[in-house]
Structure 1
Amino acid sequence: MTPITDLYLQTWNASDANARDRLLAEHWTEGATYTDPLVDVGGRDQISATIGAVREQFPGFVFTLVGEPDAHHGLTRFQWGLGPAGAEPLVVGFDVVVGDGQGRIHQVLGFLDKVPA
């Protein structure tokens, strides 16, 4: 079974909208929500649009896992980085993912730890 953090990062790294929408349909609940300091959206379409906007703002960048995830009771917390492949991340965040009990993402609560000026 693929860890929820891998599915989450695969979704955020999908630069093709069709591929991203397939990942959202398969691994995120229909009513999934995503909240961070910059956005508060609900539903797969709005989440896809949010990811698309980030992909446009940071073309060619990749999301990577920073450290080890910690999980219990359907909750997973982890730190991620965003930057050029193989380089030090320019943006670092910390997310908490709430699963639906069936391995899908239902809610994401995000925080930004490091943002370029």
Structure 2
Amino acid sequence: MNALADQYFAMWNERDVATRRKLIEELWTTDGTFVDPMFNVTGHAALSDLVDSAHQLFPGHSFRLAGEVDGHNNRLRWAWELAAEGQPPVAGGIDCVTVAADGRLSEVVGFIDFAPPAA
């Protein structure tokens, strides 16, 4: 369980596009979906673009696990935070994850607990 969470946060924090795409291919099914109150994307290219958008919106910030990974059957959940090094988090929430039969992520549904106001 923790290994998947580690890979997931590594994907979100990877700034090199080629490296990030490789991480996404290893971590997500081809039709993997990420949905939260602001985004709904499907597929590897869209996932990479989503991460790139996060880097543009929050330069110098990284996502990190906030607490323990919980899971049962093919479902996981974890809390996350977004913060700059040495700073308090600017956003946080919970992700609910579905793991495919091959061990890769097929769906992540995110819930945002706090975030900066929309511009």
TM-score range, shorter chain: over 0.9
Aligned position for 2:114:
114
Aligned position for 1:64:
64
Over the residues paired in the alignment, what is the CA RMSD in angstroms? Answer: 1.3
Q: Is residue 70 of structure 2 the alignment partner of residue 47 of structure 1? A: no
Q: Secondary structure at the match of 2:66?
A: strand
Segments of 4+ moved more than 6 angstroms = none
Q: Secondary structure at the match of 1:106?
A: strand
Q: Is residue 9 of structure 2 the alignment partner of residue 9 of structure 1? A: yes
Aligned position for 1:95:
95
Instruction: Give me the whole-angstrom Cα distance separating, in 2, the residues matched to 1:19 and 1:9.
Output: 13
Q: CA deviation at 1:101?
A: 2.5
Q: CA deviation at 1:2?
A: 5.8
Alignment of 1:69-84 (within 5 A): 69-84=69-84
Structure 2 counterpart of 1:43, which letter?
A: G
Aligned partners of 2:2 and 2:69 also within 8 Å: no
Q: Could you list the runs of 5+ residues in structure 2 that have no partner in the other structure?
A: none
Instruction: Tell me the alpha carbon deviations over residues 59-91 of structure 1, each in whole angstroms, 9 at most, x when there is no partner.
Output: 110111101111111111011000102322110
96-105 or 17-26, larger mean C-alpha shift: 96-105
Structure 2 counterpart of 1:61, which letter?
A: H
Q: CA deviation at 1:16?
A: 1.1
Q: Secondary structure at the match of 1:88?
A: coil
Q: Is residue 110 of structure 2 the alignment partner of residue 104 of structure 1? A: no
Instruction: Tell me the alpha carbon deviations over residues 15-64 of structure 1, each in whole angstroms, 9 at most, x when there is no partner.
Output: 11111101001111101001000011111111111111011111110111
Instruction: Give me the whole-angstrom Cα distance separating, in 1, the residues matched to 2:93 and 2:33.
Output: 17
Structure 2 counterpart of 1:58, which letter?
A: F
Please identify which structure carries the higher strand content: 1
Q: Could you list the runs of 5+ residues in structure 1 that have no partner in the other structure?
A: none
Instruction: Tell me the alpha carbon deviations over residues 72-114 of structure 1, each in whole angstroms, 9 at most, x when there is no partner.
Output: 1111101100010232211001101111122211100001101
Give the aligned length. 117
Instruction: Give me the whole-angstrom Cα distance separating, in 1, the residues matched to 2:114 and 2:10.
Output: 21
